[in-house]
Amino acid sequence: MPTRVTNEKTPDLAAEDETQATGKSDEAGASGFAALGLDASILAALTALGYEEPTPIQTETIPALIAGKDVLGQAATGTGKTAAFSLPILQRLHESHRKPGSGPYALILAPTRELAMQVAEAIHKYGKAMGVSVLPVYGGAAMTQQLKALKRGVDIVVATPGRALDHIRRKSLQLGAVRTVVLDEADEMLDMGFAEDLEAILSETPADRQTALFSATIAPRIAAIANKHLKNPVRVTIARDKTKAGSVPRVRQMAYIVPRVHKMTTLGRVLDMESPKSALVFCRTRTEVDQVAETLNSRGYRAEALHGGMSQEQRDRVMKKFRGNTADLLIATDVAARGLDIGQLSHVFNYDVPTSPDAYVHRIGRTGRAGREGVAITLAEPREHRFLRNIENITKQKIEIATVPTIADMRVRRVELTRATLQEILIGDQLDEYRGVVESLADGDYDVMDIAAAAVKMAHEASGNDKHEAEEEIPVQRPPAPRSAAQHDRPKDRSEDRPKREGKPPRTVAGTKRKPGWEVAKIYIGAGRKAKIRPGDIVGAIANELQLDADVIGAIEIYDRFSLVEVPDEIADDIVDTLRTTHIKGKRVPIRRDKGVVA
């Protein structure tokens, strides 16, 4: 049975990737951490970073990990988990006196590239004086650089599961000398479908390793992993503060239930309807941030991307544009937006539903400040409706389920915008030089009302409000029926979202035709404009290799470094499996389902 340590309150401390300069003395800064048995060089680093007192999870976790015990930690983001497992790793590494070139001492697995980068950066800060080398390993970065760094030798590897497994299979990541393994945000990794990858990675590590698992919830599937891979763990539970009814910012909260394939169109229509003065759009991943920002800019919006892959200089440049009103929309991940001071934000958009109610409250708290009216709008897929209900239950506030604006609604709205613009001009009363034009036309055979209507038409077209959408109407989505308790207990896995197929799926799906109402999936292809990829290359590769009819293939989006193609969900896995063994433009490129994460 695990040893249990429980704390009933989560302090309101800074997020794990931020430091706060407190201005207090060095003695005060180090005293709390000194009692946990940390080395003087680590204490000096914490003092320099402005850390004063350990958080509850750090107080309970650090001594246990330094003592070599396994830990099962339940705590939300922002409670200090990164330092809780990083500092003991550095302490034990310092005491190990291991031989150089013996392989990584510790492996930390994280669900996303943003979190992997954040953890690696924090460890670098904590262990800089000790000369500790840490390497973040994630998809989307150059494999060559990672291979070189691993060959030179590193002390700590922070990796996403997919890329870690890739290196293990290449024999470039040797885990025989690993003494500590950390599973950070384990529930998120399982939600993203990494269960099999985690098992494969853990099987490559020594049986006598130390293991720490951290998760926001300890669901049955998390408990199963803990029972299998942790040895008599110390259980640390940091209960989250309960959100009081009415404590959530008083903003107008709305949600649109739309299939993922229609999300981008829906966001554009809602932006047109709301006409925000300044808005923050939250996305889950860096790839999604870039994709949304690029698409919005191509449609005439002034959008800027902000994510963890950008340098501080790039971040400063983006924020200068946004604060200087030369950009209206800031597209960002939670990690990148953390700590930003943005005043007078009129709207917050959730391009994806936050799975944590705390994250939702934190996001929408950025609008509706100082007595101003704020608006929070969430785009949810039908299967995510339960997350909205969970948020409502926690916050005790209603989220209105709205209907996606139709093409007719858009036309009416655009005419309203033209009317408002003309009204401002009339109030300004600077029309003398134009009255002569009206009088000369009225003296002829034209009615004054017709002249005015023609002027309105010209203004409407000049403003770009005459654009007509050649889009299908977005299907109205109804909230799904409540699931039974037994259904809620089933583990979340991406395979549940796909049609079930008995036996081995066919490699060839010749003669397949697009069916009405067929579910659509997106396939990620790791090459784009810079590789001179054209839509015809993608269509040819899919149609020729699988002997498919070209009309099965849907929309193709080509970006600088990657492409996305819509295909029927029923045969998406067959297409991915086949394309992985072939070439596009003479090269093999990464192919996978577009999961919205970078592995």
- Which of 35-44, 172-181, 509-518 has the lowest average pLDDT? 509-518
Sheet strands side by side (includes 329-332) = 303-306, 329-332, 279-282, 347-350, 375-380, 252-257, 400-402
Share of the chain above pLDDT 70, in %: 78
pLDDT for residue 180 is more than 90: yes
pLDDT at 13: 27
* Radius of gyration, CA atoms only, the chain: 27
pLDDT at 474: 65
pTM for the structure as a whole: 0.46
Mind listing the pLDDT tens digit for each residue in 505-529? 332 333 334 444 557 888 989 888 8
Strands 375-380 and 347-350: parallel
pLDDT higher at 232 or 337: 232
pLDDT at 501: 34
| Burial degree of 321 (CB within 10 A; 0-12, 13-18, 19+) | middle
On average, the pLDDT of the chain sits at 77
pLDDT for residue 124 is more than 70: yes
C-alpha distance from residue 142 to each of 88, 148, 307, 402 (Å): 30, 10, 18, 43
What's the mean pLDDT in 459-464? 65
| Cβ contacts of 466 within 8 Å, gap of 6 or more | 414, 460
Task: Give the C-alpha separation, 338 to 17, whole Å.
Answer: 9
pLDDT higher at 275 or 229: 229
Give the homologous superfamily in CATH for domain 3-238: P-loop containing nucleotide triphosphate hydrolases (3.40.50.300)
Tokens of 417: 């915008």
What's the mean pLDDT in 114-126? 88
Q: Are 48 and 90 in contact (CB under 8 A)?
A: no
Task: Give the C-alpha separation, 145 to 418, whole Å.
Answer: 53
What's the mean pLDDT in 198-220? 92
pLDDT for residue 486 is more than 70: no
Task: Give the C-alpha separation, 519 to 156, whole Å.
Answer: 42
- Per DSSP, the three-state class of 329 is strand
pLDDT higher at 211 or 469: 211
Predicted confidence band at 58 (pLDDT cuts at 50, 70, 90)? very high
pLDDT at 340: 65
CATH class as words, domain 252-406? alpha beta
Say which CATH architecture domain 500-593 belongs to. Answer: 2-Layer Sandwich (3.30)
Task: Give the C-alpha separation, 285 to 112, whole Å.
Answer: 8
369: DSSP letter: -
Mind listing the pLDDT tens digit for each residue in 570-580? 788 778 877 87
pLDDT at 472: 52
Mind listing the pLDDT tens digit for each residue in 140-172? 777 888 999 999 999 999 999 989 999 999 999
Crossing angle (nearest 10°) for helices 407-428 and 263-274: 30
Strand partners, 525: 563, 591
Task: Give the C-alpha separation, 176 to 188, whole Å.
Answer: 26
Distance of CA 10 to the CA centre of its chain: 24
Predicted confidence band at 409 (pLDDT cuts at 50, 70, 90)? confident
**Taking the CB of residue 253, how many other CB atoms lie within 10 A of it?**
24
Q: Where are the domains of the chain?
A: 3-238, 252-406, 408-462, 500-593
pLDDT at 5: 52
**Taking the CB of residue 422, how many other CB atoms lie within 10 A of it?**
15
Mind listing the pLDDT tens digit for each residue in 279-321? 999 998 888 898 999 999 888 888 999 887 787 788 888 888 8
Q: Are 330 and 318 in contact (CB under 8 A)?
A: yes
35: DSSP letter: T
pLDDT at 350: 94
pLDDT for residue 482 is more than 80: no
Question: What dihedral angle (degrees, nearest 10) is formed by the CA atoms of 46, 50, 52, 58?
Answer: -50
Q: Are 156 and 104 in contact (CB under 8 A)?
A: yes
Tokens of 222: 């998390």
Q: What amino acid is encoded at 292 in this protein?
A: V
Mind listing the pLDDT tens digit for each residue in 12-24? 323 333 322 223 3
Predicted confidence band at 429 (pLDDT cuts at 50, 70, 90)? confident
